[in-house]
Structure 1
Protein backbone atom coordinates (compact mmCIF):
# COMPACT_ATOMS: atom_id res chain seq x y z
CA UNK A 1 0.00 0.00 0.00
CA UNK A 2 1.26 3.47 -0.80
CA UNK A 3 0.18 6.97 0.22
CA UNK A 4 -2.31 7.25 -2.65
CA UNK A 5 -4.09 4.08 -1.50
CA UNK A 6 -4.10 5.23 2.13
CA UNK A 7 -5.51 8.68 1.28
CA UNK A 8 -8.26 7.15 -0.85
CA UNK A 9 -9.08 4.67 1.90
CA UNK A 10 -9.37 7.45 4.49
CA UNK A 11 -11.47 9.48 2.07
CA UNK A 12 -13.91 6.58 1.58
CA UNK A 13 -14.22 6.08 5.35
CA UNK A 14 -14.83 9.78 5.93
CA UNK A 15 -17.52 9.81 3.25
CA UNK A 16 -19.17 6.78 4.85
CA UNK A 17 -19.38 8.54 8.22
CA UNK A 18 -20.87 11.59 6.51
CA UNK A 19 -23.49 9.42 4.82
CA UNK A 20 -24.58 8.04 8.18
CA UNK A 21 -24.71 11.56 9.65
CA UNK A 22 -26.92 12.83 6.83
CA UNK A 23 -29.20 9.81 6.32
CA UNK A 24 -32.75 10.80 7.26
CA UNK A 25 -33.41 7.36 8.74
CA UNK A 26 -30.42 7.42 11.09
CA UNK A 27 -31.10 7.76 14.82
CA UNK A 28 -29.69 10.67 16.82
CA UNK A 29 -27.36 8.29 18.70
CA UNK A 30 -26.00 6.78 15.47
CA UNK A 31 -25.49 10.26 14.00
CA UNK A 32 -23.60 11.37 17.08
CA UNK A 33 -21.42 8.24 17.13
CA UNK A 34 -20.68 8.72 13.44
CA UNK A 35 -19.80 12.37 14.06
CA UNK A 36 -17.36 11.42 16.83
CA UNK A 37 -15.68 8.77 14.67
CA UNK A 38 -15.61 11.18 11.73
CA UNK A 39 -14.12 13.96 13.85
CA UNK A 40 -11.26 11.77 15.15
CA UNK A 41 -10.36 10.42 11.73
CA UNK A 42 -10.77 13.82 10.08
CA UNK A 43 -8.47 15.46 12.62
CA UNK A 44 -5.77 12.80 12.32
CA UNK A 45 -6.12 12.65 8.54
CA UNK A 46 -5.80 16.40 7.99
CA UNK A 47 -2.83 16.76 10.35
CA UNK A 48 -1.00 13.89 8.67
CA UNK A 49 -1.99 14.90 5.15
CA UNK A 50 -0.74 18.45 5.63
CA UNK A 51 2.45 17.32 7.35
CA UNK A 52 3.41 14.51 4.99
CA UNK A 53 1.72 15.11 1.64
CA UNK A 54 1.22 18.87 1.43
CA UNK A 55 4.73 19.55 2.75
CA UNK A 56 6.25 17.03 0.32
CA UNK A 57 4.57 18.82 -2.59
CA UNK A 58 5.61 22.33 -1.48
CA UNK A 59 7.80 23.94 -4.10
CA UNK A 60 6.86 21.36 -6.75
CA UNK A 61 4.96 23.82 -8.91
CA UNK A 62 2.99 27.06 -8.94
CA UNK A 63 -0.33 25.22 -9.21
CA UNK A 64 0.43 23.31 -6.04
CA UNK A 65 0.77 26.53 -4.02
CA UNK A 66 -2.82 27.47 -4.86
CA UNK A 67 -4.11 23.95 -4.21
CA UNK A 68 -2.28 23.81 -0.89
CA UNK A 69 -3.74 27.12 0.26
CA UNK A 70 -7.24 26.01 -0.72
CA UNK A 71 -6.74 22.64 1.00
CA UNK A 72 -5.60 24.24 4.27
CA UNK A 73 -8.56 26.62 4.16
CA UNK A 74 -11.06 23.85 3.48
CA UNK A 75 -9.62 21.82 6.36
CA UNK A 76 -10.14 24.79 8.70
CA UNK A 77 -13.71 25.42 7.51
CA UNK A 78 -14.67 21.77 8.01
CA UNK A 79 -13.02 21.72 11.45
CA UNK A 80 -15.10 24.75 12.49
CA UNK A 81 -18.27 23.06 11.27
CA UNK A 82 -17.44 19.85 13.12
CA UNK A 83 -16.98 21.83 16.34
CA UNK A 84 -20.40 23.43 15.87
CA UNK A 85 -22.04 20.05 15.35
CA UNK A 86 -20.34 18.64 18.44
CA UNK A 87 -21.82 21.47 20.53
CA UNK A 88 -25.38 20.87 19.34
CA UNK A 89 -27.54 18.77 21.63
CA UNK A 90 -30.15 17.41 19.23
CA UNK A 91 -28.73 15.44 16.31
CA UNK A 92 -32.27 15.13 14.94
CA UNK A 93 -32.90 18.87 14.82
CA UNK A 94 -33.26 20.67 11.54
CA UNK A 95 -30.27 22.89 12.40
CA UNK A 96 -28.06 19.84 13.05
CA UNK A 97 -29.17 18.24 9.80
CA UNK A 98 -28.47 21.42 7.81
CA UNK A 99 -24.98 21.69 9.32
CA UNK A 100 -24.29 18.01 8.64
CA UNK A 101 -25.40 18.34 5.00
CA UNK A 102 -23.24 21.42 4.53
CA UNK A 103 -20.26 19.66 6.13
CA UNK A 104 -20.81 16.70 3.82
CA UNK A 105 -20.92 18.97 0.76
CA UNK A 106 -17.73 20.77 1.75
CA UNK A 107 -15.81 17.61 2.60
CA UNK A 108 -17.07 15.78 -0.52
CA UNK A 109 -15.95 18.70 -2.70
CA UNK A 110 -12.57 18.81 -0.94
CA UNK A 111 -12.03 15.06 -1.33
CA UNK A 112 -13.10 15.11 -4.97
CA UNK A 113 -10.68 17.97 -5.69
CA UNK A 114 -7.82 16.21 -3.92
CA UNK A 115 -8.45 13.02 -5.81
CA UNK A 116 -8.67 14.86 -9.13
CA UNK A 117 -5.72 17.21 -8.62
CA UNK A 118 -3.47 16.36 -5.66
CA UNK A 119 -3.34 12.58 -5.94
CA UNK A 120 -2.32 12.64 -9.63
CA UNK A 121 0.36 15.17 -8.66
CA UNK A 122 1.65 12.85 -5.93
CA UNK A 123 1.73 9.98 -8.43
CA UNK A 124 3.59 12.10 -11.00
CA UNK A 125 6.14 13.63 -8.62
CA UNK A 126 6.99 10.63 -6.43
CA UNK A 127 8.01 7.15 -7.50
CA UNK A 128 6.56 4.00 -5.99
CA UNK A 129 9.28 3.64 -3.30
CA UNK A 130 8.74 7.23 -2.13
CA UNK A 131 4.96 6.81 -2.06
CA UNK A 132 5.36 3.62 -0.03
CA UNK A 133 7.64 5.31 2.52
CA UNK A 134 5.23 8.25 2.73
CA UNK A 135 2.44 5.97 3.97
CA UNK A 136 4.53 4.99 7.01
CA UNK A 137 5.20 8.63 7.87
CA UNK A 138 1.53 9.44 7.30
CA UNK A 139 0.33 6.65 9.61
CA UNK A 140 2.84 7.71 12.28
CA UNK A 141 1.70 11.33 12.00
CA UNK A 142 -1.94 10.27 12.43
CA UNK A 143 -1.10 8.30 15.57
CA UNK A 144 0.97 11.15 17.04
CA UNK A 145 -1.79 13.67 16.30
CA UNK A 146 -4.34 11.60 18.20
CA UNK A 147 -1.96 10.90 21.12
CA UNK A 148 -0.95 14.56 21.48
CA UNK A 149 -4.56 15.61 21.34
CA UNK A 150 -5.59 13.20 24.08
Structure 2
Protein backbone atom coordinates (compact mmCIF):
# COMPACT_ATOMS: atom_id res chain seq x y z
CA UNK A 1 0.00 0.00 0.00
CA UNK A 2 1.39 3.43 -0.81
CA UNK A 3 2.04 5.18 2.45
CA UNK A 4 1.32 8.88 2.59
CA UNK A 5 4.14 10.46 0.67
CA UNK A 6 5.79 13.26 2.62
CA UNK A 7 6.37 16.35 0.51
CA UNK A 8 9.70 17.78 1.53
CA UNK A 9 10.02 20.76 -0.74
CA UNK A 10 12.25 21.43 -3.70
CA UNK A 11 11.05 22.38 -7.17
CA UNK A 12 7.27 22.72 -6.84
CA UNK A 13 6.77 21.12 -10.25
CA UNK A 14 8.64 17.99 -9.16
CA UNK A 15 6.89 17.89 -5.77
CA UNK A 16 3.47 18.05 -7.43
CA UNK A 17 4.46 15.46 -10.05
CA UNK A 18 5.56 13.10 -7.24
CA UNK A 19 2.08 13.41 -5.73
CA UNK A 20 0.53 12.74 -9.14
CA UNK A 21 2.49 9.49 -9.51
CA UNK A 22 1.47 8.56 -5.95
CA UNK A 23 -2.21 9.16 -6.85
CA UNK A 24 -1.87 6.84 -9.83
CA UNK A 25 -0.36 4.11 -7.65
CA UNK A 26 -3.10 4.52 -5.04
CA UNK A 27 -5.76 4.19 -7.75
CA UNK A 28 -4.08 0.97 -8.99
CA UNK A 29 -4.11 -0.41 -5.46
CA UNK A 30 -7.77 0.54 -5.01
CA UNK A 31 -8.64 -1.55 -8.06
CA UNK A 32 -7.17 -4.66 -6.38
CA UNK A 33 -9.99 -6.39 -4.50
CA UNK A 34 -7.42 -8.33 -2.43
CA UNK A 35 -5.95 -5.20 -0.87
CA UNK A 36 -7.07 -3.13 2.10
CA UNK A 37 -9.17 -0.78 0.03
CA UNK A 38 -10.47 1.15 3.04
CA UNK A 39 -6.95 1.98 4.21
CA UNK A 40 -5.76 2.97 0.73
CA UNK A 41 -8.86 5.14 0.26
CA UNK A 42 -8.26 6.88 3.60
CA UNK A 43 -4.69 7.70 2.57
CA UNK A 44 -5.80 8.80 -0.90
CA UNK A 45 -8.46 11.09 0.56
CA UNK A 46 -5.93 12.67 2.91
CA UNK A 47 -3.28 13.36 0.27
CA UNK A 48 -5.76 14.36 -2.43
CA UNK A 49 -7.52 16.96 -0.29
CA UNK A 50 -4.23 18.32 1.12
CA UNK A 51 -2.68 18.46 -2.35
CA UNK A 52 -5.60 20.29 -3.97
CA UNK A 53 -6.08 22.75 -1.12
CA UNK A 54 -2.34 23.57 -1.04
CA UNK A 55 -2.30 24.06 -4.81
CA UNK A 56 -5.27 26.40 -4.70
CA UNK A 57 -4.03 28.46 -1.75
CA UNK A 58 -0.28 28.55 -2.46
CA UNK A 59 0.70 27.39 -5.95
CA UNK A 60 -1.92 28.77 -8.31
CA UNK A 61 -1.80 32.34 -6.95
CA UNK A 62 1.99 32.45 -7.31
CA UNK A 63 1.96 30.99 -10.83
CA UNK A 64 -0.76 33.48 -11.74
CA UNK A 65 1.31 36.41 -10.43
CA UNK A 66 4.29 35.15 -12.45
CA UNK A 67 2.10 34.94 -15.60
CA UNK A 68 2.81 31.22 -15.96
CA UNK A 69 -0.94 30.57 -15.98
CA UNK A 70 -3.98 32.75 -16.50
CA UNK A 71 -7.23 33.17 -14.58
CA UNK A 72 -9.10 30.73 -16.86
CA UNK A 73 -6.55 27.97 -16.17
CA UNK A 74 -6.84 28.57 -12.42
CA UNK A 75 -10.63 28.47 -12.59
CA UNK A 76 -10.57 25.32 -14.72
CA UNK A 77 -8.18 23.54 -12.34
CA UNK A 78 -10.25 24.53 -9.31
CA UNK A 79 -13.39 23.26 -11.07
CA UNK A 80 -11.65 19.93 -11.74
CA UNK A 81 -10.57 19.74 -8.08
CA UNK A 82 -14.23 20.21 -7.11
CA UNK A 83 -15.32 17.42 -9.48
CA UNK A 84 -12.63 15.13 -8.08
CA UNK A 85 -13.58 15.94 -4.50
CA UNK A 86 -17.22 15.13 -5.24
CA UNK A 87 -16.22 11.80 -6.82
CA UNK A 88 -13.96 11.12 -3.82
CA UNK A 89 -16.83 11.75 -1.40
CA UNK A 90 -19.15 9.51 -3.41
CA UNK A 91 -16.57 6.71 -3.14
CA UNK A 92 -15.95 7.29 0.57
CA UNK A 93 -19.69 7.00 1.23
CA UNK A 94 -19.86 3.45 -0.21
CA UNK A 95 -20.01 1.09 2.79
CA UNK A 96 -18.86 -2.13 1.09
CA UNK A 97 -15.42 -1.85 -0.51
CA UNK A 98 -16.02 -5.18 -2.26
CA UNK A 99 -19.24 -4.10 -3.93
CA UNK A 100 -19.98 -3.28 -7.55
CA UNK A 101 -21.01 0.20 -6.37
CA UNK A 102 -17.49 0.72 -4.97
CA UNK A 103 -15.95 -0.34 -8.28
CA UNK A 104 -18.29 1.97 -10.19
CA UNK A 105 -17.56 4.97 -7.95
CA UNK A 106 -13.83 4.16 -8.09
CA UNK A 107 -14.02 4.27 -11.88
CA UNK A 108 -15.67 7.72 -11.71
CA UNK A 109 -12.97 9.02 -9.36
CA UNK A 110 -10.22 7.52 -11.50
CA UNK A 111 -11.60 9.14 -14.65
CA UNK A 112 -11.91 12.56 -13.01
CA UNK A 113 -8.50 12.39 -11.38
CA UNK A 114 -6.51 11.09 -14.35
CA UNK A 115 -8.12 13.71 -16.61
CA UNK A 116 -7.14 16.46 -14.18
CA UNK A 117 -3.58 15.19 -13.70
CA UNK A 118 -3.04 15.12 -17.46
CA UNK A 119 -4.40 18.64 -18.00
CA UNK A 120 -2.60 20.12 -15.01
CA UNK A 121 0.72 18.65 -16.11
CA UNK A 122 0.29 20.02 -19.64
CA UNK A 123 -1.37 23.38 -18.96
CA UNK A 124 -0.09 24.43 -15.50
CA UNK A 125 3.12 22.62 -14.63
CA UNK A 126 4.83 22.62 -18.04
CA UNK A 127 4.47 26.41 -18.46
CA UNK A 128 5.83 26.91 -14.93
CA UNK A 129 9.20 25.43 -15.89
CA UNK A 130 10.27 28.11 -18.40
CA UNK A 131 8.12 30.95 -17.02
CA UNK A 132 9.11 30.77 -13.33
CA UNK A 133 12.69 30.87 -12.07
CA UNK A 134 14.21 27.88 -10.32
CA UNK A 135 14.55 29.92 -7.13
CA UNK A 136 10.84 30.78 -7.10
CA UNK A 137 9.90 27.16 -7.92
CA UNK A 138 12.10 25.92 -5.05
CA UNK A 139 10.62 28.40 -2.55
CA UNK A 140 7.11 27.57 -3.76
CA UNK A 141 7.86 23.86 -3.34
CA UNK A 142 8.68 24.46 0.31
CA UNK A 143 5.55 26.56 0.81
CA UNK A 144 3.39 23.92 -0.90
CA UNK A 145 4.95 21.09 1.14
CA UNK A 146 4.45 22.94 4.42
CA UNK A 147 0.78 23.70 3.68
CA UNK A 148 0.18 20.13 2.49
CA UNK A 149 1.75 18.76 5.72
CA UNK A 150 -0.30 21.15 7.86
CA UNK A 151 -3.52 20.00 6.22
CA UNK A 152 -2.58 16.33 6.59
CA UNK A 153 -1.80 16.86 10.27
CA UNK A 154 -5.20 18.56 10.67
CA UNK A 155 -7.01 15.44 9.38
CA UNK A 156 -8.15 16.93 6.09
CA UNK A 157 -9.03 13.52 4.63
CA UNK A 158 -11.74 12.67 7.16
CA UNK A 159 -15.14 12.08 5.62
CA UNK A 160 -16.51 14.97 7.67
CA UNK A 161 -13.94 17.36 6.22
CA UNK A 162 -14.39 16.04 2.68
CA UNK A 163 -18.14 16.68 3.06
CA UNK A 164 -17.38 20.27 4.18
CA UNK A 165 -15.02 20.82 1.26
CA UNK A 166 -17.56 19.51 -1.25
CA UNK A 167 -20.37 21.56 0.31
CA UNK A 168 -18.29 24.76 0.18
CA UNK A 169 -17.40 24.12 -3.47
CA UNK A 170 -21.05 23.65 -4.37
CA UNK A 171 -22.20 26.90 -2.77
TM-score of the two chains, using structure 2 as the length reference = 0.79
- The corresponding residue for 2:120 is 114
Q: Is 2:44 the partner of 1:38?
A: yes
Deviation at 1:22, TM superposition (A): 2.2
User: Is the aligned partner of 1:21 residue 2:30?
Assistant: yes
Contact 1:48–1:138 (CA under 8 A) maintained in structure 2: yes
Does structure 1 retain, via aligned residues, the 8 Å contact 2:87–2:112? no
Which consecutive residues of structure 1, in runs of 5 or more, have no partner in the other structure? Answer: none
Give the distance between the partners of 1:30 and 1:60, measured in 2 at CA.
43
- Structure whose residues are more often helix by fraction: 1
Moved more, 117-126 or 32-41: 117-126
- Aligned pair partner of 2:78 in 43, 68, 72: 72
Paired residues, number:
147
Task: Please give the per-residue CA displacement for 1:23-62, whole angstroms capped at 9, x wherever unaligned.
Answer: 4xx23x6221111110000011011111221111225559
RMSD: 1.8
| 2:149 counterpart (127, 143, 150) | 143
Partner SS, residue 88 of structure 1: coil
Q: 2:138 aligns with which of 113, 116, 132?
A: 132
> Aligned pair in 2 of structure 1 residues 97, 137: CA closer, same or farther (>3 Å)?
same
> Which of structure 1's runs of 4+ aligned residues deviate more than 2 A?
57-64, 146-150
1:97 aligns with 2:106: no
